[in-house]
Amino acid sequence: MTIYMGAPDSSGRFGEFGGRFVPEALIPACLELEAAFKDAWADTAFHEEFEETLREFGGRPTPITYCPRLSAQLGIEIYLKREDLAHTGSHKINNVVGQALLTKRMGKPRMIAETGAGQHGVASATAAARLGLECTVYMGEIDTQRQALNVFRMELLGATVVPVTSGSRTLKDAVNEAMREWVTCVEDTHYCLGSVMGPHPFPWMVREFQSILGREAAEQCQTLGVGTPDFVVACVGGGSNAAGIFSGFANSTAKLIGVEAAGGSAIGFGMPGVLHGMRSMLIQDEVGQIAEAHSISAGLDYPGIGPEHAYLAATQRAEYYAAGDSEVLDALQLLSRMEGIIPALETAHAVAWVVREAGGLIPKGSKVLINLSGRGDKDVAQVRDILRGEA
Amino acid sequence: MTTLDTQLRAVRDSGRKVLVPYFVAGLDDEWLDCVRAAAFAGADAIEIGVPFSDPIMDGIVIQEASLLALARGTTLTSVLEQLATLDIDVPLIVMTYFNIFHHHGLERAAADLAKAGVKGSIVPDLSLEEVGTWREVGNANDIASILMVAPSSPPARVGQLARQTQGFAYAAARMAVTGVASDSGRGEGVVQGIRAESDVPVYVGIGIATPEQAAAACQYADGAIVGSALVQLLLDGKGPKGVEEFISAMRAALDNVA
């Protein structure tokens, strides 16, 4: 039997996806990071520090919440893995704590990060503050305007935010600019990439840091008497929260479902290509120029997907579907009203798929675990404007 | 050896310092005239940049020019069709990002480059570890794969890069993306590292903007690559005439290097 979600091969590939497609100037840093991560991940003391930091500072473990009212309405059993209750309001804290600890271990005093809506930027600034690291965050100029409050949060946490004015001035270009800047400061700076993407070892390393939530969820499902869920569902932009929860169930009987934004569906509409250091599925035009993604949720506004997801899709171990903006808005309101939990717009994609497919692809009576990857506080102003017809 | 290896070694052995200008293909209606003007003014090889939406090795000048070229509908195919009409005697090297070739199909891309008379390629996001397939396919079509060596490349990698690059070794003078710089950079150390491992010609690029910087680099290197300064001049509307003046001044400076 194939074992899923193990280590990639020596070239950093999951099947035909992954690899290390970056300029030579960055290769030594990727090699250094790979060696440092392997060393740290084999070190019990590092694991202890990682887990302790997430326990005492990051709010782990997060609970699993059963949804009685929504379950009754949809005729299925719905459980939520509550990453919205982690520090900074999403699963992002798991990855940044891991990378910030690794930055210190490599003896680097500084990290840089990219951010779309600002969640990864805020999390990076948070971890940097906790561990005494300098932090600079690259954020598309359009996103700095859309998410002005998150810019201030990062600044409050002591980080410097650099608006990116090139290209589409959103997440894709924030990654480009962070990579360009990394070339200039690679000797004393770690690039704290925010998802399971980029050149090897990032997709693997970020998944390993996020796997803490999948392991927790699998144990909690046993403790709560749920057993193995029939479906494990997560939203996917780059795919870090999905990789985290999938890793806890990859070698079980659970069906793994990733839900992309309809306007950023790399598995649905993409083709294999090379961007941001990886070979993966990417939305491109007919000559290989990368398209701009469009979604109501800035966090899913990315034309690619992590290479391991491309592999899980190719091998059919996981299935990927898309949710559109309007069903996502409906799902956000439904969960808020029926269960008292306002999910992030990104997360609401996973909820929307479950609502749509209950009794369809999801047979009645199924046990469904949704990774509730983030809380919706950051989105309430945007949602208010849309619902009032002002956006 | 590829044709480019043979040609560039012959230039080096003749004692001439090599000047390699870079153009963004499809930037405007005059871009081919600019390439011609550079050839007539004394360029020894010419880099043709095929624009990509996400040029992570390029600074703001080439990013801006690339977006302008893309907005004009520039594609690999349109660039190669135009290059095929060029009547100059200077080897052409295509520089682009891997997705352009990957999407076109590697074998088809190499064959199309060869048909257009291109002799080499520079693909900055194709690392030593990933370049193998493209180099094989390229070599079947006499396309040399030129590799970059960075100031951060450790000695063991410098050796591998120096032995595996074709045509010339591209020595990056700075830990930076393409752009104009005023300092002298770290090119000399990179060149010495390459020289210790291989007799391949070595050209210095990244941050070379003036005849003085080019001449300084050629004190220790076999040639100089100039990109952003030239592209800026075209963004400023100086056209083929401006190219001719710029390249002539560069040429004169290199010819004065003993």
pLDDT at A79: 98
- Judge whether A13-53+91-202 and A60-90+211-387 match in fold: yes
Q: Name residues of chain B where pLDDT drops below 50.
A: none
| DSSP class per residue in A104-152 | HHTT--EEEEEESSSHHHHHHHHHHHHHT-EEEEEEEHHHHHHTHHHHH
CB B193 within 8 A of CB B200: no
What's domain A60-90+211-387's architecture? 3-Layer(aba) Sandwich (3.40)
Strand A318-323 and strand A64-66: the pairing is unpaired
- Tell me the pLDDT tens digit for each residue of A23-63: 999 999 999 999 999 999 999 999 999 999 999 999 999 99
B63 touches chain A (CB under 8 A): yes
Measured N-to-C along each axis, helices A44-56 and A202-223 cross at an angle, to the nearest 10 degrees, of: 60
Which of B55, B102, B153 has the CB atom closest to A28's CB atom? B153
pLDDT at B184: 76
Q: Look at residues B179, B184, B176 and name the one whose alpha carbon lies nearest to residue B218.
A: B184
Q: Look at residues A210, A213, A185 and name the one whose alpha carbon lies nearest to residue A97.
A: A210
pLDDT at A298: 78
| A288 interaction partners in chain B (CB closer than 8 Å) | 52, 99-100, 102-104
Which of B80, B108, B152 would best serve as a mutation to test chain A binding (most A beta carbons within 10 A)? B152
Q: What sign does the dihedral A165-A171-A172-A175 (CA atoms) show?
A: positive
What is the rounded distance in angstroms from the CA atom of residue A236 to the CA atom of residue A312? Answer: 13
* Bond preceding residue B124 cis, omega within 30 of 0: no
Strand B18-24 and strand B46-49: the pairing is parallel
| A277 interaction partners in chain B (CB closer than 8 Å) | 125
CB A199 within 8 A of CB A12: yes
- Shortest alpha-carbon distance between residue B102 and chain A (Å): 7
What is the rounded distance in angstroms from the CA atom of residue A94 to the CA atom of residue B135? Answer: 40
Domains of chain A, by residue range, sit at 13-53+91-202, 60-90+211-387
- Shortest alpha-carbon distance between residue A24 and chain B (Å): 6
| B104 interaction partners in chain A (CB closer than 8 Å) | 287-288
| B76 interaction partners in chain A (CB closer than 8 Å) | 287
Distances (CA, A) of A107 to A44, A45, A101, A130, A357: 19, 17, 10, 16, 49
A to B CB pairs, distance under 8 Å: 121
Q: Return the CATH number at B223.
A: 3.20.20.70
Which positions of A are catalytic? Answer: 67, 91
Which of B50, B52, B54, B64 would best serve as a mutation to test chain A binding (most A beta carbons within 10 A)? B54
Measured N-to-C along each axis, helices A92-105 and A27-41 cross at an angle, to the nearest 10 degrees, of: 100
B71 touches chain A (CB under 8 A): no
- Tell me the pLDDT tens digit for each residue of A74-123: 999 999 999 999 999 999 999 999 999 999 999 999 999 999 889 999 99
pLDDT at A168: 82
Host domain of residue B63: 3-255
What CATH number belongs to A13-53+91-202? 3.40.50.1100
pLDDT at A391: 65
Distance between terminal CA atoms of chain A? 50
CB A260 within 8 A of CB A322: yes
Which of B53, B128, B175 has the CB atom closest to A183's CB atom? B175
Record: contact B56-A276, CB cut-off 8 A: yes
Helix (H) or strand (E) holding B66: helix B60-71
pLDDT in tens, chain A (391 residues): 689 999 999 999 999 999 999 999 999 999 999 999 999 999 999 999 999 999 999 999 999 999 999 999 999 999 999 999 999 999 999 999 999 999 999 999 999 999 988 999 999 999 999 999 999 999 999 889 888 899 999 999 999 999 999 888 888 999 999 999 999 999 999 999 999 999 999 999 999 999 999 999 999 999 999 999 999 999 999 999 999 999 999 999 999 999 999 988 999 999 999 999 999 999 999 999 998 888 888 788 889 999 999 999 999 999 999 999 999 999 999 999 999 999 999 999 999 999 999 999 999 999 999 999 999 999 999 999 999 987 6
CB A305 within 8 A of CB A236: yes
Which of B52, B56, B104 has the CB atom closest to A180's CB atom? B56
Give the CA count within 13 Å in the CB-facing half-sphere of A226: 26
Q: Is the pTM of this model over 0.95?
A: yes
What is the rounded distance in angstroms from the CA atom of residue B6 to the CA atom of residue A387? Answer: 68
- Tell me the pLDDT tens digit for each residue of A292-310: 888 888 788 889 999 999 9
Count the domains in chain B: 1
